């Protein structure tokens, strides 16, 4: 498997649990099925994607959508929320607040970067989590226990994990990027590393990342190693008084040179500098 080639589509990750994996590092989603209903993990970005996800769910189960969980506020994960109403939408309290405060900037990020999607994105209305929590929340779906866990600021201020302890399964949202450089529009590089360290302590054998292929602890460890490597490369330039541009140009990806998303190095460097200067909470 190369960085750009891996299994995509609906992948069963445990009994009655599934990942919806998109190619080339695009945004993933997931869903968990029971007789009483379906829990959906992220609603994706456009009406077409949300509708496709719903269609794939219906191939597996005709049970009603019982819950939608937003792993964080970024539009590629939550702009499809309106297509899952009236199911309760669950998210971290910071996810809801960031979606309110940053909705326009969030939308502009995608309309400017993907102008071909503007006709679809113009159909999106802000649809917020209506159930929020701060640290942990447990859901029972049939006889299955699903733990929603907040470990602190990372990729955003409101990233959460969904852990199924009985199955050893973790839906990590954008705390984990597999075989791709992480996006950094809001990320705090050192706090993100701390959250990854705490995530690693959870009991899981299978992990569904926000971007990239389904993996195991091996893939998560590689993602954590990449983050530490980027931190080391960028921090060295910062400590030497280099400009952001100089540091970005000098980043050596080492064994991660085959990873997707290398165009993000400039953004990663910019956000890392903001973290090092103390400009980020």
pLDDT tens-digit series, residues 207-218: 999 999 999 999
Report the DSSP beta bridge partners of residue 206. 169
What percent of the chain stands above pLDDT 70? 99
Q: How far apart are CA 212 and CA 23, in angstroms?
A: 7
216 vs 128: CA distance, rounded Å: 31
Q: How many Å apart are CA 270 and CA 194, to the nearest integer?
A: 19
Alpha helices in the chain (DSSP H): 47-60, 75-78, 93-101, 103-113, 118-121, 189-200, 217-239, 244-250, 265-277
Length of the chain, in residues: 281
Q: Does residue 274 carry a pLDDT above 70?
A: yes
Q: From CA 255, how far away is CA 257, in angstroms rounded?
A: 6
Measured distance CA(99)–CA(117) in Å, rounded: 20
Q: In order of start, what are the domains of the chain with their CATH numbers?
A: 9-277 (3.60.15.10)
Query: What is the pTM (predicted TM-score) of this model?
Result: 0.96
184-239: pLDDT as tens digits = 999 999 999 999 999 999 999 999 999 999 999 999 999 999 999 999 999 999 99
Average pLDDT over all residues of the chain: 96
Three-state secondary structure call for residue 185: coil
pLDDT at 1: 39
């Amino acid at each position: 498997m190369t960085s750009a080639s891996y299994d995509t589509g609906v992948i069963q990750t445990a009994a009655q649990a599934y990942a919806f994996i998109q190619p080339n590092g695009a945004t993933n989603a997931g869903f968990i099925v029971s007789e009483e209903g379906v829990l959906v993990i992220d609603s994706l970005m456009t009406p077409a994607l949300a509708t496709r996800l719903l269609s794939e769910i219906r191939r597996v189960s005709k049970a009603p959508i019982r819950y939608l969980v937003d792993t964080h506020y970024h539009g590629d994960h939550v702009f499809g929320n309106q297509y899952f109403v009236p199911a309760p939408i669950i998210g971290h309290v910071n996810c809801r607040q960031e979606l309110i405060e940053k909705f326009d900037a969030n939308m502009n990020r995608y309309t400017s970067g993907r102008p071909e999607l503007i006709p679809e994105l113009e159909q999106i209305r802000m649809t917020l989590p209506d159930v929020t929590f701060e640290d942990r929340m447990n859901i029972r779906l049939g006889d299955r226990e699903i733990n929603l866990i907040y470990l602190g600021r990372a990729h955003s201020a409101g990233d959460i994990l969904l852990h199924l302890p009985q199955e050893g399964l973790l839906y990590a949202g954008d705390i984990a990027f597999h075989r791709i450089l992480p996006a950094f529009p809001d990320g705090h590089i050192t706090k993100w590393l701390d959250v990854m360290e705490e995530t690693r302590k959870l009991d899981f054998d299978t992990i569904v990342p926000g971007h990239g292929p389904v993996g195991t602890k091996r893939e998560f460890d590689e993602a954590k190693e990449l983050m530490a490597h980027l931190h080391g490369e960028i921090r060295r330039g910062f400590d030497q008084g280099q400009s952001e541009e100089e540091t970005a140009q000098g980043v050596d990806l080492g064994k991660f040179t085959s990873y997707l998303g290398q165009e993000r190095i400039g953004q990663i460097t910019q956000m890392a500098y903001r973290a090092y200067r103390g400009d980020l909470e």
